[in-house]
Amino acid sequence: MTYLVRKDFNYDFDEGILSGDMSNKLFCTFCTEDQIDSVIEQIKYNYDILYNKIFVLECSNQDEFLCTYNVDPHNVNGFLDDTILVHRKKQTNTLYTINALNELIKELNGGVLDKRFSIEWDNYRNSILLTKEQELQILETKLYRIEEIR
């Protein structure tokens, strides 16, 4: 299986999660506003989308958009450019990578990574936690549109 990631957006990619259970992962493809429609078409062409929805989020503090979607894990042969795997905290609508979560814990816990450390998720409501060159990035998000897949 080949994983292609072009890092035009330069967010760190969690290499370790590729070998785990893909069924509980959420894909996140970055794009600019003028690329949204073409990225959605690429997503629809390359994957069987679960739940028939692609959520397009706008990063309010910069000119970036995210397309988030679940795919049938049995049909994944690679990643589209600028795509990462993320997790989601449903109660606060927070997306995050494991690398970013680890960096957040260290930042909040005096530099110590303690996997039992409790995160106050309300502080990260409607945002995505990422790393860029191993530095924590917190981007505020808002729903831009929902693309229904037919």
Residue 16 lies inside a defined structural domain of this protein: no
Residue 13 lies inside a defined structural domain of this protein: no
Residue 2 lies inside a defined structural domain of this protein: no
Residue 85 lies inside a defined structural domain of this protein: yes
CA-angle at 89, arms to 69 and 32, nearest 5°: 45
Query: Is residue 36 pLDDT above 60, yes or no?
Result: yes
Name the residue with higher pLDDT: 56 or 78: 56
Query: Is residue 20 pLDDT above 70, yes or no?
Result: no
The per-residue pLDDT for 134 is 87
Global confidence as pTM: 0.84
Per-residue pLDDT band at 6 (split at 50, 70, 90): very low
Residue 78 lies inside a defined structural domain of this protein: yes
Q: Where are the beta strands (DSSP E) in 93-134?
A: 94-96, 127-132
Per-residue pLDDT band at 79 (split at 50, 70, 90): confident
Per-residue pLDDT band at 77 (split at 50, 70, 90): confident
Name the residue with higher pLDDT: 48 or 56: 56
Q: By residue range, what is the domain housing residue 113?
A: 25-148
**Torsion of the alpha carbons at 145, 21, 115 and 9, rounded to the nearest 10:** -40
Residue 43 lies inside a defined structural domain of this protein: yes
The per-residue pLDDT for 14 is 59
In 3D space, the residue among 89, 81, 79 whose CA is nearest the CA of residue 32 turns out to be 81
Per-residue pLDDT band at 90 (split at 50, 70, 90): very high
Q: Which two tokens stand for residue 55?
A: 């959520």
Other C-beta atoms lying within 10 Å of the C-beta of residue 120: 8
Q: Which residues contact 99 (CB under 8 A, 6 or more apart)?
A: 12, 14, 131, 134
The tally of domains found in the chain comes to 1
Q: Which two tokens stand for residue 23?
A: 């069924």
Residue 99 lies inside a defined structural domain of this protein: yes
Residue 73 lies inside a defined structural domain of this protein: yes
Percentage of the chain modeled with pLDDT above 70: 84
Helix/strand/coil percent split, the chain, to 5: 25, 35, 35
Sign of CA dihedral 68, 64, 98, 143: negative
